[in-house]
Amino acid sequence: MDQSLFHLLDQDQDLSQRKWTLVNGPVIVGAGPSGLATAACLREQGVPFVVLERAECIASLWQKRTYDRLKLHLPKQFCQLPKLPFPEDFPEYPTKKQFIEYLESYANHFDINPKFNECVQSASYDETSGFWRVKTVSDKVEFEYICRWLVVATGENDECAVPNIEGLAEFGGEVIHACEYKSGGKFQGQKVLVVGCGNSGMELSLDLCNHNASPSMVVRSSVHVLPREVFGKSTFEIAVSMMKWLPLWFVDKLMLILAWLVLGNTEKYGLKRPSVGPLELKNTQGKTPVLDIGALEKIKSGDINVVPGIKRFSYKQVELINGENLDIDAVVLATGYRSNVPSWLQEGDFFCKNGFPKAPFPHGWKGNGGLYAVGFTRRGLSGAASDATRIAQDIGKLWNDETKQHKKIAIACQRRCISQF
């Protein structure tokens, strides 16, 4: 046993009284796409690992907290995880069900078996021993994992972000977050206020229209709306191709010209564009442009009512900042998600208080003391895949070096024992 582990046991007498295990490799917290990608890359490197997941399934966000009509917003080649592409017979924009099938086959292919229902309570680094101590609870039983490397793969969207809006508690009607929304069928004939105008807000508003509800969508600030495709070609793919040859600011200009040609002037429908271009805004602030799949036509026809920010709620009503009052039956909060890392990771150098790495992309994947982060790039699945590859290569080199060192020590000990005979 490693001398540093003996030191840790001597230092913490309580550890000998608790259930614990030493992990010969990294602990990965989270079995979503980011955690699975990292595990697969480690498997290819020959590095053992343990994946901890608080839910009872992989990709719980996709399986439990997404709406029925969801499809990937980008073509599948930009969303596949490392080492295993999507099946060729999948459409360009796979459905939610198809993506979950892909993730399950991915886990099976790389023999990834997460420890489900393991909720991480805390993770701290013991500087004296050089080990991470990851404490979990499963069925009220406390357990501790001790490891050299810790990979935070809980991602950007681990918890619902619910805004504090005056009077919402007195509204009296149904109020749900987008994570609880499945279909607009239950809202048929109702007036629904959708709070938020990102990809989720737009798509939920469109879904409500398709189920004969009357949505009003709150657009509090500026937003970039781009066509998902231009002349049958993915807008994102066009942008990626142009950025190989052209500066970002120029690509932004071209994208806005294409958007104007396809969609027209969105500002006259209450969708004011930011002063910063869509790609620059994504790179600097992490704000994703909306890729339109039909909501804009409903806005133009008046089927989706665009309204400004909210001042306060009252019983079955909302007062807007322009003084207008709307009668509504239900509220859907398409207000996004946030990272929960600060609630359990006891570390202050690598992560900010908002749960994102302090270092900007592409440097936010590695911290000190064997700490890594995957899926926090604000660059979707392709960003997570890039992080996972780097992390596995880095840990793989360290793990192989340590393994070789231990083998040398073992051989030297064996030779000394033989020489004594």
Q: What is the pLDDT of residues 137-175, one digit of tens each?
A: 988 889 999 999 999 999 888 889 999 999 999 999 999
Whole-prediction pTM value?
0.90
Phi-psi region of 406 (alpha: psi -120 to 50; beta: other; left: phi over 0): alpha
Residue 10: per-residue pLDDT: 54
Residue 76: per-residue pLDDT: 94
Q: What are the distances in angstroms from CA 168 to CA 176, 201, 295?
A: 11, 18, 26
pLDDT in tens, 189-230: 999 999 999 999 999 999 999 999 999 999 998 999 999 999
Q: Which two tokens stand for residue 342?
A: 């600060």
Residue 349: per-residue pLDDT: 87
Could you give the CA distance from residue 259 to residue 341 in angstroms, rounded to a whole number? Answer: 37
Residue 184: per-residue pLDDT: 95
Return the closest-CA partner of residue 353 out of 338, 368, 364, 367: 338
Residue 35 phi, psi (nearest 5): -65, -40
Return the closest-CA partner of residue 409 out of 417, 399, 420, 419: 417
Q: Which two tokens stand for residue 171?
A: 């509204």
Residue 363: per-residue pLDDT: 85
Residue 91: per-residue pLDDT: 95
Residue 172 phi, psi (nearest 5): 90, -20
Which residues of the chain have a pLDDT value below 70? 1-18, 404-421
Residue 19: per-residue pLDDT: 85
* CA angle, residues 136, 137, 140, in degrees to nearest 5: 165
Residue 107: per-residue pLDDT: 98
Could you give the CA distance from residue 232 to residue 328 in angstroms, rounded to a whole number? Answer: 38
Question: What's at 169, amino acid-wise?
Answer: A
Instruction: Provide the CA 134 distance to its chain's centre, in angstroms.
Output: 21
Residue 252: per-residue pLDDT: 95
